[in-house]
Amino acid sequence: MTRFGRFELIQRLAVGGMGEVFLARDGGAGEPLVLKRILPHLAGNTEFLDLFLEEARIQARLNHPNVVRIVELGDVDGAWYLLMERVEGVDLRKLMRGPLQLGLACRIAADVAAGLSAAHAAVDAQGRSLQVVHADVSPHNVLVSFGGEVKLFDFGVAKAAGRFARDDEALRGKFPYMSPEQAAGERLDSRSDLFALGVVLWELITGKRLFEGRSDLDTMNRVLACQVESPGGPVADAVLRALQKQPAKRFGTVAEFAAELLPHAASQQDLAVRVGGLQRPGGSSLDFSRDERKPSAVPSLPPFTLSPSKGEHAQRSVLLPYEALALTQLRALPAGFSLEAAEATIEVTLEFPDAPWALDIVQALRDKGHLRSWDHEGELRFSA
């Protein structure tokens, strides 16, 4: 067990573009919390440090049940960290393996909207609006606890007025959940978050991806075109209004959008029942992370790098043994063990993720039906 200042780092949960996330215990006692620490090689980078501190300052002002609570901001020998409450549950991606019951989808979207409303209304010490835009409302930033609580987190790409340049606005956030104005590099306001929430709800209802293409460029072009089919059902008009290409044609606030969803929303208890079904056998819980702990029957596969320097043919062939090993491990699971809880993960670094050979690999695996997801961050998930 590693120490970081007064904290015991129990387990590394995830690594993002600018920070590591750990399950930690303060002073070796008490309930575990979640600690986000800026990556060591970025500690001297003023832009990244400002981004990290901006997340802390914004989120610390948001005392709302639908926003992950900040416990502490500090540094250990120049290494900045953010200490947050631990949410025992799953991120929203775990509930997106097919259409979700409408009531549950509306419950989740309405609760995210409540958290966003609090962020959009945030003010500084002088009572002036911070004009916060989350700018990364996407499934991996929404946590659902086993008690049915919905919490928004990771304001690391949030934008207070005038803080970031236009190029930064266009690149931060996840491409499939960008608004057209974000993809175009235009100035953002709260209606950009409204659009992103509309994308999430559309996908929850339909079980499909709305804008995801074969590459980031393809995805951005689809976002800019903004061709949206009706998701069907009683909230279709509200979803389509949230997904209007022109911000002026959307709802004025996320609260107005939520008001259209609440009459159709299930209860928190109903959501708890659905999420509770994702717990592992034996009652152990999941902490939010990109890479969940694997059972002993499914050992982690070693990471590797795909680079065009080895040649296109070699790149295709090197992935095949990993695919076969992943499927073999999954099929060897004990009888009755949930495949959803035991998916094998291969972490892959693509030096040029938009290169034709890389896209061919991903598409070939999709066509074979073995690739569960590909998140453009170097993570492939296989299923039997």
* Catalytic residue ranges: 136
The DSSP output letter for 163 is: S
Cα-based torsion angle of the residue sequence 373, 376, 377, 380 in order, rounded to the nearest 10 degrees: 30
Burial of 2 (C-beta count, 10 Å sphere; 0-12/13-18/19+): exposed
Residue 3: partners with Cβ closer than 8 Å, 6 or more residues away: 9
Residue 350's CB is within 10 A of a number of other CB atoms, namely: 22
Q: What is the spatial order of strands in the sheet that 89-91 belongs to? A: 89-91, 142-145, 150-152
Give the orientation angle of helix 356-368 with respect to helix 312-331, to 10 degrees: 30
The phi, psi pair for 105, rounded to 5°, reads: -60, -45
Distance CA 178, CA 173 (A): 7
Distance CA 318, CA 323 (A): 10
Amino acid identity for residue 164 in this structure: F
DSSP H/E element including 34: strand 33-38
